[in-house]
Amino acid sequence: MFIPSFNARRSTPVLLFLFSVALILILLSFYYFAVPTGLLEVWNDYQEPQRHFNTDDPVSACFVILVRNSELDGIKSSIDQMEKTFNHKYNYPYVFLNDDDFSAEFIENTKSLGTAEKFYGKLDEQMWGYPKFINQSFAAERRKEMVETQVPYADSESYRHMCRFQSGFFFRHPLLDKYDYYWRIEPNVDFLCDIDYDVFKFMRNNGKKYAFTLTFVEFMKTIPSLWDTVLNFRREHPEIVSQFPPKEKSLWKFITDDDGESYNSCHFWTNFEIASLDLWRSSEYLKFFNYLDESGGFFYERWGDAPVHSIAAAMLLRKDEFHFFHDMGYRHTDVLHCPADEQVLQKCSCNHDSFVWDDYEKGSCLKQYNRALLD
Amino acid sequence: MFIPSFNARRSTPVLLFLFSVALILILLSFYYFAVPTGLLEVWNDYQEPQRHFNTDDPVSACFVILVRNSELDGIKSSIDQMEKTFNHKYNYPYVFLNDDDFSAEFIENTKSLGTAEKFYGKLDEQMWGYPKFINQSFAAERRKEMVETQVPYADSESYRHMCRFQSGFFFRHPLLDKYDYYWRIEPNVDFLCDIDYDVFKFMRNNGKKYAFTLTFVEFMKTIPSLWDTVLNFRREHPEIVSQFPPKEKSLWKFITDDDGESYNSCHFWTNFEIASLDLWRSSEYLKFFNYLDESGGFFYERWGDAPVHSIAAAMLLRKDEFHFFHDMGYRHTDVLHCPADEQVLQKCSCNHDSFVWDDYEKGSCLKQYNRALLD
């Protein structure tokens, strides 16, 4: 073994140098090994529960469907396609919700679709009615005024109840208590590609909390005061905003082009939505929803659950918790997402020559999404 | 400066020794300084939101009162005392809930008590009705059978609805969305000591999630199958149980004397309860509640919200997240807690010579609580 010879005096700087190197090496090894393995948590007292699971563990998840008895044919069509392209392999249960009692015919006809479990629940007044702080005659006036703007559902009360329900209540229904993730489905939509992996396991195993296929720009006349209300919330509740990830780690730039000055109207289209229920159950979201709700905009204007969910998720989540299911062909009304990847397309019954919403020119917000993601 | 002289050969073990000492010192300093200051979290990517606050920051908290119009006098008496002993200094709002509409008389008479804000809400069928999976005629039979056991409320339907509501629903009411903590109050109770500090700030600042004044043993005839259902839940849901703190860090020994073989019937008396709403909003608790609910015991037996809350909290929380408000004099029916500390007693209108529930001989579970805490 070669050991350099040195005398006492000369060895002082050598020793100091060696100590420094040792220190750096030890700190580096600590950072690269101890921190990621969670070794430190063992030293520290038990604090927050950590999510531990094997990637093969089952996921508690379901489909959530808000639907009327009269939409039986439409929902049968949607479920048929969901079973054929995905769920016959995975058998996730369906939870049907309605503001009325489901008819025997509805239940009988949907029970027989596929082999997955089906649950049927009714909303109640809390979830589908006017809260006390709403002035109903003022709301009626405002609906009348909105008709002139010719926005869809301008004068619809039930559409407003639906948007409020989807914004603030569906996740509180006891039929959803046992689940961690949901996939929202609507009547008369198409699922156009075979999905040969477990979508919910993908979400859980990759730490995804919110996923979409379509992005959209909003009719700003339906939400004239929404953004101001969001900004007021942020101003009045610094203690909540301080719990959010820093703007640059969130999807802030998906929803605003001028660092919050205004809302660019971009949102995820929530008629397709795969997400974590805990996102909405969190006290941060509940306080946000409650603040919006008390401002009256769900009824005095016509705030959609899509901008509400999207703005909230863009503030509450880290950008790596979002996922764009570009491999899922999906159609709602005349809006279509069809995969661009040739290999994926072979498993789809759509083609990219048709009207496809993700082309930027046509008004999709994928550009803003990608910008926010990469920035 | 003294530097020992050594030659190359002899210096090898010295160097090794010095390196080891350096390593130990560095690791120790790391453990004592870096870990507690949260330095590591800065290195790591942003993960879970951390609770940061100044101890003087206001707390979002309220009183929650489930009450009937007919109990107006009783609740006036409770609130009068709450205002006099505590809330005139802190002005936390009151949330009144009822399974019926509140009468104008009730609202008028309670609004005038103190200066705190008051909110009035109605429960709906979801929160106060039979879920679909309950066989109502079987439930009626079981109620009749229970009458013979002479337990309180043996044949009461509404008492069962109340217990289920307090177990699984009060925290979902939108009137509570904006709050982080609550203090449950009932009609006709006494608050007997002046409290000269902000109880909710105490909870938040000390990381407390559940607090009580009285512990009790349960009538086991009201919950014959509750513990088996809890054990089944634990067996069937290892993925949830693995999120709980380890048994020895939880209050497991408060609820069982034989490591889970049986329930010792100990519980916190929930008519007085100060707790974190997030505890019940958590997906772990929702799944636990849902499992109990679907087993039918709230209606086929007569499960109280006190054992349900207590068993859940004892499993879900760390023992340091509990607090016994020994300095609060409190009476419900003929059960009284009066502070033992002479100095505290000077601010109370009770004395320890009266019937006091915390004496072990009389059936309180303080012994089990202290055992679990200290073990």
For B318, the closest of A4, A46, A172 (CB atoms) is: A46
Closest-CA residue of A relative to B101 is A132
Expressed in angstroms, the distance from the first to the final Cα of chain B is 53
Q: Å from B217 to nearest chain A CA? A: 29
Question: Which residues of B are identified as catalytic?
Answer: 273
Partners of A287 on chain B (C-beta within 8 Å) are 60, 177-178
Q: ipTM above 0.85?
A: no
| Length of chain B, in residues | 375
| Parts of chain A with a pLDDT under 50 | 1-2, 6, 36-49
Residue B31 and residue B25: Cα distance in Å, rounded? 10
User: Residue A1: its chain B contacts at CB < 8 A?
Assistant: 12
Residue B37 has pLDDT above 50, yes or no: no
Q: Give residue B361's pLDDT band: very low, low, confident or very high (50, 70, 90).
A: low
Partner residue opposite A287 with nearest CB, options B3, B19, B178 = B178
- Residue in A closest to B319 by C-alpha: A46
Q: Which residues contact A73 (CB under 8 A, 6 or more apart)?
A: A187
Q: How confident is the model at residue B1 (pLDDT cuts 50, 70, 90)?
A: very low
> Residue B132 phi/psi, 5° resolution?
-60, -30
3-state DSSP call for residue B221?
A: helix
Strand partners, A216: A267
First to last CA, chain A: 53
Indicate if the pLDDT at residue B43 is higher than 90.
no
Could you report the per-residue pLDDT of A115-168, keeping only the tens digit for each?
Answer: 999 999 999 888 999 999 999 999 999 999 999 999 999 999 999 999 999 999
Q: What is the pLDDT of residues B281-296, one digit of tens each?
A: 999 999 999 999 999 9
Q: What is the predicted pLDDT for the residue at A37?
A: 47
Per-residue pLDDT, B23:
78
B318 chain-A contacts, CB cut-off 8 A = 46
Choose among B22, B31, B44: nearest Cβ to A35.
B44
CA distances for A238 relative to A358, B53, B57, B58, B374, angstroms: 36, 10, 11, 12, 38
Is the CB of residue A368 less than 8 Å from the CB of residue A266? yes
Contact A49 B245 (CB under 8 A): yes
Could you tell me the pTM of the whole model?
A: 0.85
DSSP A347: T
Give the pLDDT confidence of A226-257 residue by residue, as tens digits: 999 999 999 999 999 999 999 999 999 999 99
Task: Give the pLDDT score at A23.
Answer: 78
Q: Which uninterrupted H or E stretch holds A216?
A: strand A215-217
Query: Which amino acid is it at A304?
Result: G
pLDDT at A256 (0 to 100)? 97
Q: How confident is the model at residue B46 (pLDDT cuts 50, 70, 90)?
A: very low
pLDDT mean across residues, chain B = 90
CB B214 within 8 A of CB B269: yes
Contacts of B53-56 with C-beta under 8 Å, sequence gap 24+, read: B53/A239, B53/B204, B53/B205, B55/B201, B55/B205, B56/B201
The reply to whether residue B277 touches residue A289, judged by beta carbons under 8 angstroms, is no
Q: Chain A residue with minimal CA distance to B250? A: A46
Return the amino acid letter for A161.
H
Q: Which of A273, A294, A321, A342 is catalytic?
A: A273
Number of C-alpha atoms within 13 angstroms, CB side, residue A289?
Answer: 31
Coil, strand or helix: which one is A129? coil
Amino acid at B9: R
**Six-digit token string for A125:** 């007044």
Nearest CB to A8; choose among B4, B174, B245: B4
What pLDDT, on the 0 to 100 scale, is given for residue B17? Answer: 79
CB proximity list for B207: less than 8 A, separation 6 or greater: B320, B321
Read off the pLDDT of residues B53-72 as tens digits, 9 standing for 90 and up: 889 999 999 999 999 999 99
With CA atoms as reference, the chain A residue closest to B53 would be A239
pLDDT at res. A360: 67
Would you say A293 and A131 are in contact if contact means Cβ atoms under 8 Å apart?
Answer: yes
Rounded distance between C-alpha atoms, residue B163 and residue B154, angstroms: 13
From B101's Cα to the closest Cα of chain A, the distance in A is 12
Beta strands in A15-147 (DSSP E): 61-66, 94-98, 118-122
Which residues of chain A have a CB within 8 Å of the CB of B30?
A: 30
State whether A125 and B122 contact (CB < 8 Å).
yes
Contacts of A291 (CB under 8 A, 6+ apart): A229, A232, A233, A236, A237, B178
**Lowest-confidence region among A112-121, B169-178, B228-237, B359-368:** B359-368
Residues in B touching A291 (Cβ below 8 Å): 178
